[in-house]
Structure 1
Amino acid sequence: MPDPERAALLARRDVVVDLARVACVLLVVVIHLLMIGVGLDASGAIVVSRPLEAQPWFDAATWVGQIMPLFFALGGFTGLTSWRSLQRRGGTAADFIRARTMRLATPALALFAFFAVVLGAATLAGVDPALLETVAAGTGTPLWFLAAFLLAQCLVPLLARLHERAPWVTLATLAGAAVLVDAVRVATGVVDVGLLNLVFVWGFAQQLGFWYADGWFRRRTSPRLVGLAATAYLLVWPGVEAGWYSPDMLTNLNPPTVPLMLLGVAQVSLLSLLHAPLKLLMSSRAAQAAVFLIGSRAMTLYLWHLPVIIVIAGLSLLVPGAAPEPASAAWWAGRPVVFVVVLAVVWLVSVPLARFETVTAAVHDGFRRPAAAAVVIAAVLAFIPPFAVMEWFLDLQLAVGGAVLLAGSVVLDRPRRLRVGAVATTPTR
């Protein structure tokens, strides 16, 4: 890329956000890699375990490693900046929702179709149903994110308007609603009440990204950012001590709970605190190239890394010495190598899948945007499959049904060809 073009690109971006997003995705891969232990013991028997969760320091580590609140905050930053840019070009809320739906539903369609074919073939081949159920449930674990993130992004136009009118009231309302939902869930024992916090907890985390985009966090002094992060962490503890929340912050993920909001405050504060050195790091061409390269395939990496990890773990059983007993010294020592192999395989997988991730929402000459009603239906169709997986785990029926619904979403969001004599609407991106 020529220097003037590169400088113009960097001037339009917060490269620290790009770095943080890539770091979040890679950390998710590392966590899943350390959670899946498949190997052979001294007798040659297959051992399956979850080594990371067995460590005495695991719960404490999740207070740092649970980075989904930061991911939603980063999504809030990009969502708000994209929404404002779209508004300046005359775009509408329907245009924004359509673009966000397409960019999530299209990559998800490829994955659900893959699962439908593989699980269907395995079922016809007579694979043990219990084994198939376990593998399918495991590989579908990350799909909850698609439902939660799509829901949060669809709310960006509304929440952005509320943010502009009353930022503190909007943030406090989301926080108060999340606390109320958790209180009802704890008092009644009805876990599904917590699903309301898909809106309130993740909406709050996303709203933090709005505040970050407006520069509020970076206008705070370093001592204030440290104090804000420390206070947020300290406020998590009473609920854990009272037994309302698990000390394992990954357990507090689905349904999302109040501690995740507090972790979000701490994480955005710390990111702002480290903004200057991270921006300096991103001033090098090598760092920019690595971050932009991985970032261009971030969704593919997130969606496909777990199936790749499971396949590699299974294949390693066929190679002498490649599958040491999980949690053994040899197993831990081999994780960096496996991590590199997983990234390499996912990158190879991403080559034919690139067109699903780089889908554009542009409406070219001779076409028009779909009606607002079609956009809303498309968003609902895209939300249902990952939400169903979050609630009931992935299986053949959900894979097939999900592929059908996602295909319907993609079709509904496609531009419509103009009739002769009709006037095109303004293209959107």
Structure 2
Amino acid sequence: MRTELSPSTPDVSRRDLTLDLARVTAVCFVVVVHLLQVGVGRGPDGAIVTSRPAEIQPWFDTATWFGQIMPLFFVVGGFASAAGWATWTSRGGDARGFIRSRALRLAQPALPLFLVVAAVLVVAALVGVDPSLVDAAVVGVGMPLWFLAAYLLCQAVVPLTTHWHEVAPRRTVAMLLVAVIAVDALRFASGVQELGYVNLLFVWPLIQQLGYWYRDGWFDHRSSLSLLGLAAGSYLVVGAVVIWGPYSNNMLANLNPPTLPLVLFGLAQACLLRLAKPLLTALMRTKAAQAVVFVIGSRLMTVYLWHLPVILIVSGVALLIPGAAPTPASPEWWATRPLVFAATAVVLWLLSLVLVRFEALGELPPPPGAVVLAIAWVCAFLPPFAVTLEGMNTVLAVSGAVLSAVSVILLRAGRRRAAG
């Protein structure tokens, strides 16, 4: 029986290894940021204390201007998506097959996370674990899941948005930008914060468009001075809309719901990435850098989805070791962060030896029909989107496990062939 084309990968002749490095660096940076936001230790009286140490620091809001790296991930993702779609279609693939493989790459790694979290929460409720400790843990576990919802949307519209980019690139960017501003204006004018989530449809696809422009060579054709000026101008505009507009000076607060500053960050980071390309290219010629990028890049979703549970596990184990869990935000706590990062990296690597198989798709049958594909996509999208809105809890963990399982089953099953 004929199998479907292999999941799309960028054309090797056009592959830019500096983008692989940028993607891996962005995820590792997210791990570091979350490591500084999770404080689990013992207070002076020996009681367990939980807090978010980085967020109480006077420098935190300023640091988020450097720490908000996710727009760059979507720029790089846009480049990879456009390249993947071009390769896919050149081999005779269609939109259904592309969307199925991209959705499966996100839904399949998420399934074990939802299963484990659901099992832990159900058992914790049955044995009577302190709900306050459980709530603090699951909120952290659910924090990164917004990315699944946003990226699922971006991947689903790649066939459409690449077409828009080909026929009217400037008009596409302009229309998406107008939509972003309109949604933000409606949200802030009405005071209904939930309206901001409509910008999932516009903010991230607009940043993805920047990746299309990056692949086309638009940034390559700009001088270093122009790129530096464009990046600086983008940051200045962000500063202006923060000072005179309704946006937060905390760039993590502008993440969910997504807002205009993220678009400007994406443009600035694309410019800075291109400026750094000669240095990054030289680095990626070394075997060591290639090895690190390959090892982490081949299990990137595992690292992203599981780093917070692992940080919590490492912090929990430290509570059992005398003197290993200092009071969060104390000088001793800050001094132990490198050790916690190293321990987290080791545990993540060991965990990935088991979970990396969920990132591999293997051979797939022909894609399901449009209706089944739509149902599978919705089943993959709803759990992370609901967690983004409400935060992780037992109901969402269990329903997320069920819906993710349904999504994976439908996506992997493919279309049945007619008899005869």
TM-score range, shorter chain: over 0.9
User: What are the superposed Cα offsets for residues 48-78 of structure 1, whole Å, 9 maximum, x if unpaired?
Assistant: 2211112221111111110111111111111
1:233 to 224, 232, 235: 235
2:107 to 105, 127, 143: 105
Counterpart in the other structure of 1:23 = 25
Q: Distance in 2 between matches of 1:249 and 1:47?
A: 27
Q: Distance in 1 between matches of 2:188 and 2:417?
A: 56
CA contact 2:307–2:344 (8 Å) conserved in 1: yes
Counterpart in the other structure of 1:202 = 204
Query: One-letter code of the match for 2:412?
Result: R
2:383 to 382, 385, 388: 385
Counterpart in the other structure of 2:194 = 192
Give the deviation of 1:368 after TM superposition. Answer: 3.2
CA contact 2:96–2:367 (8 Å) conserved in 1: no
Give the count of matched residue pairs. 411
Superposed, which structure 2 residues align to 1:174-185 within 5 Å? 174-185=176-187
Structure 2 counterpart SS, 1:140: helix
Superposed, which structure 2 residues align to 1:348-363 within 5 Å? 348-360=350-362, 362-363=363-364
Counterpart in the other structure of 2:219 = 217
User: What are the superposed Cα offsets for residues 139-191 of structure 1, whole Å, 9 maximum, x if unpaired?
Assistant: 11111110011011111110000000010110111111000110111111111
Superposed, which structure 2 residues align to 1:280-295 within 5 Å? 280-295=282-297
CA contact 1:218–1:273 (8 Å) conserved in 2: no
- Once the two structures are aligned, what percentage of the paired residues are identical? 55
Q: Distance in 1 between matches of 2:246 and 2:220?
A: 33
Give the deviation of 1:376 after TM superposition. Answer: 1.6
Counterpart in the other structure of 1:369 = 367
Structure 1 counterpart SS, 2:271: helix
Counterpart in the other structure of 1:66 = 68
Give the deviation of 1:334 after TM superposition. Answer: 1.3
Supply the RMSD in Å over aligned alpha carbons.
Answer: 1.6
Give the deviation of 1:374 after TM superposition. Answer: 1.3
Q: Distance in 1 between matches of 2:386 and 2:313?
A: 24
Structure 2 counterpart SS, 1:39: strand
Q: Distance in 2 between matches of 1:352 and 1:60?
A: 38
CA contact 2:11–2:84 (8 Å) conserved in 1: no
Give the deviation of 1:421 after TM superposition. Answer: 6.2
Give the deviation of 1:242 after TM superposition. Answer: 2.4
User: What are the superposed Cα offsets for residues 69-125 of structure 1, whole Å, 9 maximum, x if unpaired?
Assistant: 111111111111000111111111111110111000000111101111111111111
Counterpart in the other structure of 1:244 = 246
Superposed, which structure 2 residues align to 1:308-327 within 5 Å? 308-327=310-329
Q: Does 1:402 align with 2:400?
A: yes
2:48 to 42, 46, 49: 46
User: What are the superposed Cα offsets for residues 239-269 of structure 1, whole Å, 9 maximum, x if unpaired?
Assistant: 2112501100000000000000000000000
Where structure 2 has 5 or more consecutive residues not aligned to the other structure, the ranges are 1-9
Give the deviation of 1:43 after TM superposition. Answer: 3.5
Q: Distance in 2 between matches of 1:72 and 1:398?
A: 26
Query: One-letter code of the match for 1:73?
Result: V
Q: Distance in 1 between matches of 2:245 and 2:181?
A: 15
CA contact 1:76–1:208 (8 Å) conserved in 2: yes
CA contact 2:100–2:367 (8 Å) conserved in 1: no
Q: Distance in 2 between matches of 1:264 and 1:392?
A: 27
Give the deviation of 1:222 after TM superposition. Answer: 0.3
Q: Distance in 2 between matches of 1:417 and 1:220?
A: 47
Counterpart in the other structure of 2:120 = 118
Where structure 1 has 5 or more consecutive residues not aligned to the other structure, the ranges are 1-7, 423-429
Q: Distance in 2 between matches of 1:295 and 1:12?
A: 18
Structure 2 counterpart SS, 1:219: coil
Q: Distance in 2 between matches of 1:369 and 1:317?
A: 48
Q: Distance in 2 between matches of 1:388 and 1:79?
A: 25
Give the deviation of 1:417 after TM superposition. Answer: 7.3
